[in-house]
Structure 1
């Protein structure tokens, strides 16, 4: 799980900053480096401890912002505190229809703080109400005079005085001093503040309008995850009634690393898109579009109400009979394959999938790999070796032959930069809806923890190539050469794909005729702070925390693009689409971890 990346990063930072040389001079240099590394580690720990202590004061600052009052307050500021204000708002030509964009000019003079609204007076005069306020610590460092300096990322959402929707993003510099055990602000400086305003949101939630009955709405919104979290925090429970004996502890990382999905598909071929929702706990749901703007749940009626541990689904006409069949990827159970027989789905896994479906499937992608007119299937698998018990992967979910190979690879792979996982699987369509496993997944079995595999013809030669996003390992690009998958990662991308991969999608963002890949990684404020404190780290350590990566396809290679698509939070996947109908592809990025029930949230800032 990605949270472990940060704790591992700190310890690895010390290790890799210590070189090795032989001889007396080398031994002395090694000792000096060891001392330097230990000092850097101690400084990092002390800095992060202060940042943790500042959570309370920063939250008090957020409450002041919510009340549209950022001025002198004895619980926030020392007497005589000073500030650099924002001034007038300068509008610029926006790139989006219907969106007004501007940036506040920054005051250069330090002023003594007196009034309630002085720091953001120019902003608060434009705001009626703020609904969302987020502060994140980008940097922290001790000053020479014993004070502590932080740089905060500021994100605000609300309503303007004119009744429009407003979004404000910026950065604050704050100098803190400790007085009688409390951190107070000595100086606060606006470093940047931008504004975007529009008449209405691009998207709105209409679930309560498309589900007719309260029962359907409750079922669609019910979260078993929330139910278990409430049980742990409010009653002290730690056990599930499901799944099995090998996974019954609520805090297992296998629980947190498995993610469900939604498939959009016209299941009944009536011209209206339906939704199939997979469930980690509870039964899958199929919401049939009635054609009048409402939906009904029909999963049990058509045979698709599988019970739990379902991560993903992929609908397509796999037997070429004119209707859509479905593969369902699962974690603690083997995946399933259902044939569509007159609108009812019949499980044909055992009969039609030679070699069987794998466990731990995280994502699936279909394409005609060998050009025979039949859809084949690539299954990405994901599982970290940190569950209870630790050897569960090798003993419960692999064949005897796979167990031997997994243990061999685990003995030689790196525990962070190439963490051994289950093998990915390539199913080749033999016709009539029958599949067989390709040996070593055509060369793309990888034996890593893969979050996603995506087919796309990046070289415009008429066949699908394969992109694989891997957690705790480099990502891969495979070129399709007459049905054979060839690893061309270094050839086309060099060392660009070193982050913790969680998704990959492709689209021609610059309209040059070549598909460009967008890899979703992790942008972590805490990880970025920590890695900056150490010199000489592996480049992969920096790549692992600095965010997503858009690469421009030149026709021969992929080149990184410098645009505002990297720092999209803790990202899980991106999707290209022309949302504003201007002829250029936009990006929608799913990010974040989990929004918990009220009273169970943590203030940890990652």
Structure 2
């Protein structure tokens, strides 16, 4: 019997991550503070000295406060209902928030940017804050974004007052077609009032910026007009929604941008395991038409393709990540062209596999010449298998029950042997992304392994195509839940930078502060796990993370990323795909 499988990822709240850290250290998660709060009467606001440190109790109350403020403060802004917004502010409210013209301008050729400092702002009352918010959005044609996300929450012992730090964002279009956004980190003191509502009594900015783009958007959605349609039945949508409602998602689809027919125009290849694979050929006129793929057996439809010339004939092969099994062998196939026709080599990438072990489809595939023989080798990242996730073995922060990674060495003529262990590559982590790159600048290709549930691994090429793990490498020191990787020279210095997509977590940052009994070392690990993406640049021969300094760490629940010059000004921006799926019940708890 031949078996097939797709990967399924279970989503674990960051609170559970922190609990796992604390449990591993033998430290308590819950407790309660006693005593008085901080200074909520003067500016800048300060956090209370004593607070409830029971994680569950604090998080439950934070959810109540957040829901209350979203129903008044945020909902009022979105609907231009300023009386509703004012209802979120106590009668004795005092706060500092910049008006549009406050602060100072930041030089930029394309954007109008104003930076605000709290020290230069006057203290206003409730009506003053509402007027300030109205001044920011008054010229907009609509308010497309208004959000308030808490990353620090300290509930005072009497439980009717709290201190919080939040990320606040407003955004919308103006009549000329341009767009504006206000981003602020603010500290608030909130109080509980009659009826169970919470109000903001004190508010102060920590940092804030307004950006106005006077030009119309550079991009518009032309999906339908360009002919990029993929049919999906209602039954299929409902089936996938049920998976999401159970806090899991299928990792079973990918998109590739390739020049399929070598006509100089980029084409699009979409594939979803066991469901469909669609090739959209660029017609050179701004549209796409469907092309023919060589996959004829629906059971061979993969969740990912790799388009690369493996035999040096100038024509790319199509590598499928679909894994098949029989006895103690498993294999992946390659499609190649011979005499102008596609031929499927089902056992091109064959490897040993213990009987009964069902691997997920390969999660990531990357190609490169690791031993300098001029032949392109393949690294195939394994995520999990049918034995992964056993509660007795699974560890959120040091997971070793994932799947092994595979290194296929090219011997020419599309003949490969799997040699990962023989060449020093070991371990069964949950590898989500992998990339060949010369990280140490010695002229050979090293390997970056990006992991879920454990620190990443850098495999240093020893010069002959064998590897050793650099466990203390800056890329591999912390648990980050890595989802993506991009490499580029973003600032035109002639030096490579590496951007790693991880998961920024507001909840994680909140809980770290509450874990007051942990050691400083553990607290630092927790903080790093929740702080998001990394931007590594080489300084004096050492890779350093500049994401916080450059302001590019917070991209939410981040996935793939890319360096790209979006505005054609000669330097590269960072594009990050982020977000997650939604439960069909909008009142269901967040992932």
| Structure 1 Cα separation of the partners of residues 161 and 422 of structure 2 | 57
Q: Check the 8 A contact 1:285/1:305 in 2, yes or no.
A: no
3-state secondary structure, aligned to 1:360:
coil
Does structure 1 residue 6 correspond to structure 2 residue 14? yes
Alignment of structure 1 residues 67-106 onto 2, 5 Å = 67-71=79-83, 76-87=88-99, 88-95=101-108, 97-104=109-116, 106=118
Give ranges in structure 2 of 5+ residues lacking alignment: 1-8, 34-51, 326-330, 354-358
3-state secondary structure, aligned to 1:284:
strand
Structure 2 counterpart of 1:313: 305
| Structure 2 Cα separation of the partners of residues 332 and 79 of structure 1 | 67
Does structure 1 residue 327 correspond to structure 2 residue 305? no
Does structure 1 residue 207 correspond to structure 2 residue 223? yes
Write the deviation string for residues 172-213 of structure 1: whole angstroms up to 9, x where unpaired. 4333322334123142524143221221224322212211xx
* CA deviation after TM superposition for structure 1 residue 252, in Å: 6.2
Does structure 1 residue 524 correspond to structure 2 residue 505? yes
Q: Check the 8 A contact 1:71/1:116 in 2, yes or no.
A: no
Write the deviation string for residues 245-299 of structure 1: whole angstroms up to 9, x where unpaired. xxxx67666x525152211111122222211112146211111122222211224
Structure 1 counterpart of 2:78: 66
3-state secondary structure, aligned to 2:454:
coil
Does structure 1 residue 550 correspond to structure 2 residue 535? yes
| Structure 2 Cα separation of the partners of residues 266 and 469 of structure 1 | 27
Write the deviation string for residues 353-395 of structure 1: whole angstroms up to 9, x where unpaired. 242796431111000111121111001111277879x59xxxx
Q: Check the 8 A contact 1:157/1:166 in 2, yes or no.
A: yes
User: Cα 1:563–1:111, aligned 2, differ >3 Å: closer, same or farther?
Assistant: closer
Structure 1 counterpart of 2:272: 279
| Structure 2 Cα separation of the partners of residues 500 and 332 of structure 1 | 28
User: Cα 1:345–1:538, aligned 2, differ >3 Å: closer, same or farther?
Assistant: farther
Alignment of structure 1 residues 444-593 onto 2, 5 Å = 444-487=425-468, 489-490=470-471, 492-493=473-474, 496-534=477-515, 535-536=518-519, 537=522, 539-554=524-539, 556-561=541-546, 562-593=549-580
| Structure 2 Cα separation of the partners of residues 387 and 332 of structure 1 | 18
Q: Check the 8 A contact 2:169/2:181 in 1, yes or no.
A: yes
3-state secondary structure, aligned to 2:173:
strand
Residue correspondences, number: 543
Which stretch has the larger CA shift, 570-579 or 137-146?
Answer: 137-146
| Structure 2 Cα separation of the partners of residues 538 and 85 of structure 1 | 31
Q: Check the 8 A contact 2:92/2:125 in 1, yes or no.
A: yes
User: Cα 1:587–1:250, aligned 2, differ >3 Å: closer, same or farther?
Assistant: closer
Write the deviation string for residues 555-598 of structure 1: whole angstroms up to 9, x where unpaired. 733122231121111111321233334443332112111267xx
Write the deviation string for residues 37-59 of structure 1: whole angstroms up to 9, x where unpaired. 54489622111111111243222
Q: Check the 8 A contact 1:499/1:540 in 2, yes or no.
A: no
* CA deviation after TM superposition for structure 1 residue 478, in Å: 1.8
Structure 2 counterpart of 1:288: 281
Which stretch has the larger CA shift, 1-10 or 36-45?
Answer: 36-45
Structure 2 counterpart of 1:355: 351
User: Cα 1:507–1:555, aligned 2, differ >3 Å: closer, same or farther?
Assistant: farther
3-state secondary structure, aligned to 1:62:
helix
Q: Which has the higher helix share?
A: 1
Write the deviation string for residues 413-440 of structure 1: whole angstroms up to 9, x where unpaired. 9553233211000111111112111141
3-state secondary structure, aligned to 1:323:
coil
Which stretch has the larger CA shift, 516-525 or 504-513?
Answer: 504-513
| Structure 2 Cα separation of the partners of residues 148 and 449 of structure 1 | 39
3-state secondary structure, aligned to 1:361:
coil
3-state secondary structure, aligned to 2:511:
helix
| Structure 2 Cα separation of the partners of residues 304 and 104 of structure 1 | 60
| Structure 1 Cα separation of the partners of residues 274 and 89 of structure 2 | 48
Structure 2 counterpart of 1:26: none
Does structure 1 residue 228 correspond to structure 2 residue 239? yes
Write the deviation string for residues 309-331 of structure 1: whole angstroms up to 9, x where unpaired. 73321101112222111112247
Structure 1 counterpart of 2:180: 166
Does structure 1 residue 431 correspond to structure 2 residue 412? yes
| Structure 1 Cα separation of the partners of residues 31 and 204 of structure 2 | 35
User: Cα 1:156–1:340, aligned 2, differ >3 Å: closer, same or farther?
Assistant: farther
User: Cα 1:506–1:164, aligned 2, differ >3 Å: closer, same or farther?
Assistant: closer
Does structure 1 residue 154 correspond to structure 2 residue 164? no
Which stretch has the larger CA shift, 563-572 or 415-424?
Answer: 415-424
Does structure 1 residue 142 correspond to structure 2 residue 180? no
User: Cα 1:601–1:368, aligned 2, differ >3 Å: closer, same or farther?
Assistant: farther
Q: Check the 8 A contact 1:418/1:473 in 2, yes or no.
A: yes
Alignment of structure 1 residues 30-69 onto 2, 5 Å = 38-39=31-32, 43-60=54-71, 61-69=73-81
Q: Check the 8 A contact 2:397/2:479 in 1, yes or no.
A: no
User: Cα 1:272–1:163, aligned 2, differ >3 Å: closer, same or farther?
Assistant: closer
User: Cα 1:116–1:336, aligned 2, differ >3 Å: closer, same or farther?
Assistant: same
Structure 1 counterpart of 2:333: 336
User: Cα 1:108–1:509, aligned 2, differ >3 Å: closer, same or farther?
Assistant: closer
- Of 418, 421, 426 in structure 1, the residue corresponding to residue 399 of structure 2 is 418
Alignment of structure 1 residues 359-370 onto 2, 5 Å = 359-370=360-371
Write the deviation string for residues 104-138 of structure 1: whole angstroms up to 9, x where unpaired. 56575544424893251331334332112222112
Q: Check the 8 A contact 1:377/1:427 in 2, yes or no.
A: yes
User: Cα 1:5–1:383, aligned 2, differ >3 Å: closer, same or farther?
Assistant: farther
- Normalising by structure 1, report the TM-score: 0.79
